[in-house]
Amino acid sequence: MSDLLVTGAKLLVFLGVFLGAIAPIMVWLERRFCAFIQDRPGPNRLGPLGLFQPLADVFKFFFKEDVTPSTPDRALYLAAPALAVLPALVTFVFIPFGPTVEIGERLVPLIVSDAPAGVLLLLAIASLSVYSLVLAGYASNNKYSLMGGIRASAQLISYELAMTLAVVAVLLPVGSFHLSDVITYQQENGWNVLPQAIGFLVFLIAMFAETNRLPFDLPEAESELVAGFHTEYSAMRFASFFMSEYIAMTTLSALAATLYFGGWDLWGIDDWLVSTGSGLFLPEWFWAGAVGMTILVAKAFVFLLLFIWVRWTFPRFRYDQLMRLGWKVLLPLALFNVVLIAALTVGGVL
Amino acid sequence: MEMVIFFLFAALAVGSALVVVLHRNPVYSTLSLVLTLISLAVLFVLLGAPFIAALQVLIYTGAIVVLFLFVVMLLNIGREEASGERGLLQKVAAGVGALALLAFVALAYWGAYGTREVGPLTEDFVSLEVLATQLFSDYLLAFELVGLLLLVAVIAATVLAARLGNTPGGGESDPALPEAGEEGI
């Protein structure tokens, strides 16, 4: 029973940080950073630096009229936004945010679910999010939406393969499917980003395609498809797509930080912080969790900033270019990387 | 608890599989297939094989059924038209096919277990290490042959697509069509 309690507590903490803090900050950051790049102030009226703007946005979404188009598939139309939120809310449970700590008598790993094959489950559940885009496109009874949905499905298949292969290359020298082992490996051998440079590049590009962000936001492509798969959605239903995109971005950023940049570990500085903190007040497990979480979130934010930076810097790919890049460049690169890393691992270099 | 979960998802798997076959709208059929595959993945977890469950979701629901849905939507297959009466020959063929499938499953089951006692799966039967070792030693030939089969399928698809590209109005003109060779995933 108390196992259930501990898991529930970890879930609440993580959910609070991801949903309650990062997603709204990202919405604010997107608008302010974009304004900075375009040399204008951006939303700066509500609260200090306009920080309360996301709050106002949420209220606006709640009170907007929810327009539903006439469609033969009303049930699917209503289910699509819910299906978007579901995988976004589940995937982060597989990301570790601290070491295994002692709370009283018990050892508690600071990860919500250290399931066997956790990384694979994360990728698997994340890939389910495409159904929401496809269904939204199909059930909207709108040709632009349908085009967006079709594009989303083809895009996901093209890029998921390269992404999974990049992750496989990370797991090869570690020899385990547990993300906590990946972090332990990096504590002993240095960050993965150096030996896995090719894999990291592939993962990074696939990350943009997976979250449908520019330069790969073909399912939305507002200059061609109005708003793509969510053309017919309004009010909170639209906001569901919007928020789940930000949560998915955050989760993938945290995954990238864990796979290639040491996760919650920071060259032993975190150990120093934990021991200093626990010497002052509050128990050690609290500090381990807080420091680990802070480092992980800080690393994830580097990627999140990159997401925004790229969005307002690069133009959108054309559809055939997207497919060509996925199948003819990224996939062979990822395969080459797997063979290279496998050879290095067997040769005892890694 | 485990029994409840098992029966829930077993019923869900069978029920949604029936919907796949019986529903007249191909989009709903494809979606039911997703439900079937996820239910099966849950059953794999209950059997103590989380790796196979993850692969099931990753490959089948995450990629292959998305491809099905892509094709269904691209071709814009609507509600299946009532194809009228089915002929006697069709009914007989369907019956024979179903019986043959049942016989195959029974034979495979008999060949694998026979009269042996069937116990629960243990860690040293479904763990990742054992699975990998088995796949690359005892079943290496079958594994390589499956790979060859997929390769042949990819080449066949490419040849067909290339032939389509030669006819006027086909091939290049459809930007929504992905590169050939996706079938091999």
H/E element holding A102? strand A100-103
> Which residues does chain B have within 8 Å of residue A127's beta carbon, measured at their own beta carbons?
57-58, 61-63, 66
Place of tokens 């700590």: A101
* Interface membership of A127 toward B (CB under 8 Å): yes
Other Cβ atoms closer than 10 A to A39: 6
| Range A14-32 average pLDDT | 80
Minimal Cβ distance to A161: which of B69, B179, B185: B185
Could you say which residues from 68 to 107 on chain A have a Cβ atom under 8 Å away from some Cβ of chain B?
A: 73, 76
* Interface membership of A149 toward B (CB under 8 Å): yes
Q: State how far the Cα of A199 lies from the Cα of B15, in Å rounded to an integer.
A: 42
| Range B2-22 average pLDDT | 87
pLDDT band at B101 (very low <50, low <70, confident <90, very high): very high
* C-alpha separations of A261 from A114, A251, A270 in Å: 19, 15, 14
- Compute CA B90 distance to the chain's CA centroid, rounded to the nearest angstrom: 24
Quick one: pLDDT at residue B122? 64
Quick check: helix, strand or coil at residue B120? coil
* Interface membership of B128 toward A (CB under 8 Å): yes
Q: How many CB pairs under 8 A join A and B?
A: 96
Q: With the C-alpha atoms ordered B119, B125, B131, B133, is the resulting torsion angle positive or negative? A: negative
Could you tell me the pTM of the whole model? 0.81
Report CB contact under 8 Å: A153, B128.
no
What does pLDDT average to over chain B? 78
Q: State how far the Cα of A227 lies from the Cα of A223, in Å rounded to an integer.
A: 8
pLDDT band at B185 (very low <50, low <70, confident <90, very high): very low
Query: Cβ neighbours of residue A116 under 8 Å, at least 6 residues apart?
Result: A177, A178, B50, B51, B128
pLDDT at B89 over 90: no
Q: With the C-alpha atoms ordered B154, B158, B164, B170, is the resulting torsion angle positive or negative? A: positive
pLDDT at A49 over 70: yes
Could you say which residues from 173 to 232 on chain A have a Cβ atom under 8 Å away from some Cβ of chain B?
A: 177
Greater confidence (B26 vs B125) lies with B26
Interface probe, candidates A131, A151, A160, chain B, greatest B C-beta count within 10 A: A131
pLDDT at B166 over 60: no
A118 DSSP 8-state letter: H
Q: State how far the Cα of A58 lies from the Cα of A55, in Å rounded to an integer.
A: 5
* Interface membership of B66 toward A (CB under 8 Å): yes
Quick check: helix, strand or coil at residue A215? coil
Report CB contact under 8 Å: B70, A153.
yes
pLDDT at A302 over 50: yes
Report CB contact under 8 Å: A131, B66.
yes
pLDDT band at B100 (very low <50, low <70, confident <90, very high): very high
| Range A189-198 average pLDDT | 84
What does pLDDT average to over chain A? 82
Residue A257 token pair = 């930080």
What CA dihedral angle connects A166, B74, B35 and A79, to 10 degrees?
100
Q: State how far the Cα of A126 lies from the Cα of A88, in Å rounded to an integer.
A: 7
| Range A24-35 average pLDDT | 85
Quick one: pLDDT at residue A177? 81
Report CB contact under 8 Å: A117, B175.
no
Quick one: pLDDT at residue B80? 55
Q: State how far the Cα of A172 lies from the Cα of B119, in Å rounded to an integer.
A: 33
pLDDT at A110 over 60: yes
Q: How far is A148 from chain B (nearest CA, A)?
A: 10
Listed in sequence order, the DSSP H helices in chain A are 2-15, 23-37, 53-63, 74-90, 118-127, 130-139, 143-174, 179-189, 197-210, 222-225, 235-260, 269-280, 284-311, 319-324, 331-346
pLDDT band at B168 (very low <50, low <70, confident <90, very high): very low
Minimal Cβ distance to A149: which of B73, B178, B181: B73
In chain A, % of residues over pLDDT 70: 97
Interface probe, candidates A157, A164, A325, chain B, greatest B C-beta count within 10 A: A157
Query: Cβ neighbours of residue B34 under 8 Å, at least 6 residues apart?
Result: A131, B61, B65
A73-102 burial code (b ≥16 CB/10 A, e <16): beebbebbbebbbbbbbbbbbbbbbbbebe
Report CB contact under 8 Å: B66, A130.
yes
Quick one: pLDDT at residue A336? 92
pLDDT at B182 over 50: no
Quick one: pLDDT at residue B79? 56
Quick one: pLDDT at residue A158? 83
A153 with B66: CB under 8 angstroms?
yes
Quick one: pLDDT at residue B172? 45
Quick one: pLDDT at residue B67? 84
